[in-house]
Structure 1
Amino acid sequence: MDNKFSDDSQIGVVSTFSELVNTNFKEAMNAICWSRDLAGDFREIVSKLQLKENITEVSIEDLLLLELSEKGNTAREIILNDLQLLADFGALPTLNLLKCYQRDEELDFLSTDVYSYHVDRSPIGTDTFLCTYAGAASDILPNHQAEQKILIPEIREKLKKLYDGPEAEFESFLKDYFFDLHYQPKPNANPINLGSGNLWRLAVEHPSQQVLPCIHRAPVENDGEYRLLLIC
């Protein structure tokens, strides 16, 4: 097993799917990695899939219809197995072929798209699972190396000018529009790249969560390269 992440207290490293879903988050640890060096040609799969929109959901049927080499077929079997493992666990995995996500350009002082460091929130107990098979991989950031954007004075003042309701409801306004989910890296912050092939479980903010939610962001895509991403 590759232990390249094991020196970081934020990350738990495991070697099986069972460990991935059964290891508890604790203290600073809010990301768990099933560290893998996958065989197979995932780029071949990307080259044979058809991008219909900037984000195209790839079905199991789409995968099964592809004419692939031996290495391409190995990659397909890995993806199908990951989808099955997550479905059997009770998750709803999606495989996406990605050119890019939509950018949020509405506010010039605060981006709220997935390229911004953010946490996920849910009303029920859940986790975020993701694996990048091809293309650029996401980053996470230790919580102590980031600051909530709504607490940065100049951003908070601009949000107050934007808000036109009663002062007592300002915090609710920030939450309703998801401004509170976004974070700014502190000076000298050290993002951790999630790498290709690793299946990750990230902590989500929800009422029963015992740890801080994991701060993460989507990567800027490499020119001329699509991403193949499993997420749920």
Structure 2
Amino acid sequence: MSKLSPSEHQIKQVSSFDQLIATSFHGNVNALCWNRKLKGDFSEIVHKITLTENMVEIHPKELLALQLSEQGQVARNILLNDFKLLKNNGKSPTINIIKHYERDDAFPFFPTDVYSFHVDRSPIATDTFLCTYYGATSDILPNAQATQKILIPEIRAELKKLYAEECEEGFESFLSEFFFDLHYQENPEAQIINLGIGQLWKLAIDHPESNVLPCLHRAPKEKKGETRLMIIC
């Protein structure tokens, strides 16, 4: 019997949006993937939008107003249908075109931006959904192949200097308040998994009712001169 890779333990494939919504996380599975191959020209949509900032949200009305070729229209219909499916299932999707995210340089020894492997957290039961249609794509990582950064001795020592208080209980609250506890460092031999173009993903997050570990993920470093088109909620 062949040994399963960490990704095969972590990821479950589904064949429809309904299955993506209905399937629960269990055991080591904290990432669900609606695996599909999309048609249409999503790059045309990206190139029709003028970016005045590093990231812009595109509303359905703006998409419908674009003059597109036949393949551009196919891409737009897919994008709008994904948006509608998520919206009709109680989600709050946003369509984003991204040049790059803001980098965090407040603490050089510990950036807390989305380019670092991290988990999402919510006080209520929910999941993260995302799909990249054009441009660089996000990564996830098996939980066993990473270490929470606040547990790395060198980093913890620097954080204690930053906190500059004696009370350990206060220090733990400080780590949570500034989101340091959400970030992870991949191990040297970690098998990073790229989420690919066109796949709609559901990722487990940290919330009180969760029965699984939250999914470690990060935004990609964008390719020079190339923006990203994605849905996230």
For the aligned pair, the TM-score class normalised by the smaller chain equals over 0.9
* Post-superposition CA distance 1:56-115 (Å, at most 9, x none): 000001100111111000000000000000000000000001000000011121110000
- Give 1:6 deviation, angstroms: 11
| Contact residue 204 and residue 213 of structure 1 kept, 8 A | yes
Corresponding residue number in structure 2 for 1:195? 196
1:64 aligns with 2:81: no
Corresponding residue number in structure 2 for 1:186? 187
Q: C-alpha separation between the residues in 2 aligned to 1:182 and 1:231?
A: 20
How many positions carry a matched residue from both structures? 228
Q: C-alpha separation between the residues in 2 aligned to 1:103 and 1:219?
A: 12
Percent identical: 59
After the TM superposition, list the runs of 4 or more consecutive aligned residues in structure 1 that deviate by more than 3 angstroms: none
Corresponding residue number in structure 1 for 2:84? 84
- Give 1:168 deviation, angstroms: 2.4
| Contact residue 141 and residue 216 of structure 1 kept, 8 A | yes
Corresponding residue number in structure 2 for 1:226? 227
1:207 aligns with 2:191: no
| Contact residue 130 and residue 230 of structure 1 kept, 8 A | yes
Q: C-alpha separation between the residues in 2 aligned to 1:68 and 1:9?
A: 41
Q: C-alpha separation between the residues in 1 aligned to 2:168 and 2:109?
A: 21
Question: What code does the residue aligned with 1:52 have?
Answer: T
Corresponding residue number in structure 2 for 1:32? 32
| Contact residue 6 and residue 12 of structure 1 kept, 8 A | no
Note the residue ranges of structure 1 that are not aligned, 5 or more in a row.
none
Q: CA RMSD in A?
A: 1.2
Q: Residue 14 and residue 73 in structure 1: after superposition, are their counterparts in 2 closer, same or farther (change >3 A)?
A: same
Q: C-alpha separation between the residues in 2 aligned to 1:100 and 1:67?
A: 26
In the TM superposition, 1:50-199 aligns within 5 A as 50-165=50-165, 166-199=167-200
Corresponding residue number in structure 1 for 2:47? 47
The normalised TM-score by structure 2 is 0.96
Question: What code does the residue aligned with 1:169 have?
Answer: G
Q: C-alpha separation between the residues in 2 aligned to 1:52 and 1:17?
A: 33
- Give 1:167 deviation, angstroms: 2.5
Q: Secondary structure at the match of 1:161?
A: helix
Q: Residue 56 and residue 21 in structure 1: after superposition, are their counterparts in 2 closer, same or farther (change >3 A)?
A: same
Q: C-alpha separation between the residues in 2 aligned to 1:195 and 1:45?
A: 19
| Contact residue 42 and residue 76 of structure 1 kept, 8 A | yes
- Give 1:179 deviation, angstroms: 0.1
Question: What code does the residue aligned with 1:93 have?
Answer: P
Q: C-alpha separation between the residues in 1 aligned to 2:169 and 2:129?
A: 36
Corresponding residue number in structure 2 for 1:21? 21
| Contact residue 25 and residue 31 of structure 2 kept, 8 A | yes
